[in-house]
Amino acid sequence: MGMASLFGGATSSCASQQSTHVSEEKQHADAMAQYSDLSGGEHLIIGMLVYPEMYLLDFVGPLSVFESLMNREIHLIWKNSEPISSTSSHIQITPTTTFENCPEHLDVLFVPGGVPGTFTMMEDLEVLSFLATKGKTARYISSVCTGSLILGSAGLLNGYRATSYWSLKDVLSEFGAIVCDERVVVDRNRITGGGVTAGIDLALTITERLRNQTYAKAIQLYLEYDPAPPFNSGSPEKAPKVVKKFLLDMFQGMHEKALTIAKKKVRV
């Protein structure tokens, strides 16, 4: 059973199963009516920027949460509708909405991270202009991982507390952001998440604000999001020194490039 079918209703395309599905849909509808005070709410418009060489999990984690919301529409936004290659060579993402056709008002404007795509977006004036414009009216402006560097480049984090991927978050100060160490940082209507898997935490945090805490918890249970990693090395504070040094050495060029781009202070 998909997320949409659990929270948003399902339809059958197989005539032989029609009777069973009608019964299931009635049961589903009755349950939704019974708990409408928990799951109801205004119509939501969620815009998720997608771009070449973004990190797939940065995008898919939050999408899995947002798709569970009832009475919502989700737009995967890019310059055109051509399929986009992510950092995974096996999976492409097809945008559903262009910059030109994006709804005027967004309840959520979300930007994923991913290197090398992030670096290109930090200097793409068309992308930065789009984000700056939508950021003026968006209810919540959010990102995960290095997506916050793109928000910063668009001028959307100046004076706001924010976070990013652990080895690059110091770069946010170049955009006037106040760098924080929390996994999810909320400052007024700016909500930023740390690296990759923090996207699920971020989306649940946003869901609580869009709907309510009980519904956000229901999504968490549906996803069975109850992390119990086999190793306690998921942050630079917890990881063994050799592990941290290995990654820092490997990512040294990445940090230097991010800082160089940020110091250019590209204006939109």
For the chain, percent helix, then strand, then coil, each to nearest 5?
45, 15, 40
What letter does residue 172 receive in the DSSP assignment? G
Alpha-carbon gap, residue 66 to 17, rounded angstroms: 29
Tally of residues, the chain: 268
Reported in sequence order, the residue ranges of the chain that DSSP labels E, i.e. its strands, are 44-49, 72-78, 84-85, 92-93, 97-98, 108-111, 140-144, 161-162, 178-179, 184-187, 190-193
Q: Which whole-number Å values give the CA distances from 35 to 25, 41, 128, 211, 248, in the listed order?
A: 15, 12, 41, 13, 48
Catalytic residues: 145
Q: In whole angstroms, what separates CA 1 from the centre of its chain?
A: 23
Q: Which two tokens stand for residue 189?
A: 């209507």
